[in-house]
Amino acid sequence: MQSSPLRSTQLMEQAVGRIPGGVNSPVRAFGAVGGLPPFIRRGWGCRIEDVDGREYVDYVGSWGPLILGHAHPEVIEAVERRLRDGTSFGAATEGEVRFAQTLCERVPGLEMVRLVNSGTEATMSALRLARGVTGRDLIVKFDGCYHGHSDGLLVSAGSGAETLGIPDSPGVPAAVANLTLSLPFNDLDALGEAFSSHGADIAAVIVEPVAGNMGCVPPREGYLQGLRDLCDEAGALLIMDEVMTGFRVARGGAQERYGVVGDLVCLGKVIGGGLPVGAYGGRGDLMAKMAPAGPIYQAGTLSGNPLAVAAGQATLDLLDQAGVYEGLEAAISSTGGGARVQRVGSMLAVYFREAPVHDLEDARACDADRFPPVFQRLLENGIYIAPSAYEAAFVGTAHDDAAIDATSQAWSLALA
């Protein structure tokens, strides 16, 4: 008797007819690893279950936001309480004010903040502000760093683009792409040369202080301070893209961990507690240039959405409990089998090479052929990681000893 097809398979067959590639974000597809993605129906703590009843220990965490795990009861309660009074008003709410105060109290250098709906909106708006206040057009980013899918930032953007083999997307006008200089990450000399050639035209340097879209690549010692110094010398702004690292690698993000503060900072993921949200902010004199206080325009119908604010506030309050970040530092640190773990706080990545990974070229030099079969063996043994060798994995407060032990055993089997 022939068994019925899996429900995930049936859903994917339906999805490809209505959704490009069957997914609403390219990184969710399994093109780089083979097979079809499971369709998830529920999550609790560090575990998820697909529509076929298969259970996994989850290291994707909705691509980073779920630092407290799935369906944390206090976060759910905060959202339900807010939900009863309405979902959105397009008007100011008390929750927005408290949330803005919380963000500014915890993130170094954050004097004023504007809420938006995604990390892409946050980085796009920060760059508009930087160009508006400096009167310059050029932006510097770094190879393998992803800052959202706005046109000017889809240049050597890592992660999904690397996985798909299309680092520069069709549909981005050459005139727009030409306003972005992409340089090697962790290379201060390259940035110094760029400033020597184009310094008077560079509005801002934007960086992931810990690169999370070519795995997990920490900054070399002195690198972030070097960026700060070069920007100051040239009169350019330094934008710290902490959409991934904010409240993830320390209570005050990477700026606290490394002691270097940008003129502007972009936030997202963790600050929404699993709901769509983003934020950008920084020095008060800069943020005062944004409309309606100033002439630089940015708006959003759902910005500061009450549900997202409630989830985010509950999440940040819970992260203030004693010992949270110390606990997040304890996780898998080695795998053996010719694989190398790199981690910063609760972000980590496994590379199939012995030498450290400092930039995109190092990441590309890994044994890429090993990743798909290892991924599939992990999935078969109940471990869910991103279907891309260029993505970070995320540990949360819900990853208990049983989950870590199961993961270690699965890794041993996968690497054998």
Blockwise average pLDDT, block size 10, the chain, 416 residues: 73 96 93 94 98 98 98 98 97 97 98 97 98 97 92 65 49 85 96 96 98 96 98 98 98 98 98 97 98 97 97 98 89 68 95 95 94 96 95 96 94 90
The top-level CATH class assigned to 73-319 is: alpha beta
| C-alpha to C-alpha distance for 290 and 111, rounded to whole angstroms | 14
C-alpha to C-alpha distance for 371 and 376, rounded to whole angstroms: 9
Between CA 143 and CA 217 the distance in angstroms is 12
pLDDT at residue 331, as a whole number:
61
Tell me, which fold does domain 7-71+323-415 have in CATH? Aspartate Aminotransferase, domain 1 (3.90.1150)
Domain boundaries along the sequence of the chain: 7-71+323-415, 73-319
Express each pLDDT in 97-132 by its tens digit. Answer: 999 999 999 999 999 999 999 999 999 999 999 999
pLDDT in tens, 144-169: 999 998 888 877 654 444 433 334 67
Q: Where are the extended beta strands (E) located within 27-85?
A: 40-44, 47-50, 55-58
How many CB atoms lie under 10 A from the CB of residue 183?
Answer: 20
| Cβ atoms 15, 22 nearer than 8 A | yes
Helix axis angle for 306-319 and 94-106, nearest 10°, is 40
DSSP bridge pairs for 296: 290
pLDDT reported for residue 168? 61
pTM: 0.94
What's the distance, Cα to Cα, between the start and end of the chain in Å? 34
Structural tokens at position 248:
């993830």
**Residue 227 to residues 16, 128, 231, Cα–Cα distance (Å):** 44, 20, 6
Write out the two tokens for 5. 């097809």
3 state SS of 168: strand
Question: Could you list the active site residues?
Answer: 146, 241, 269
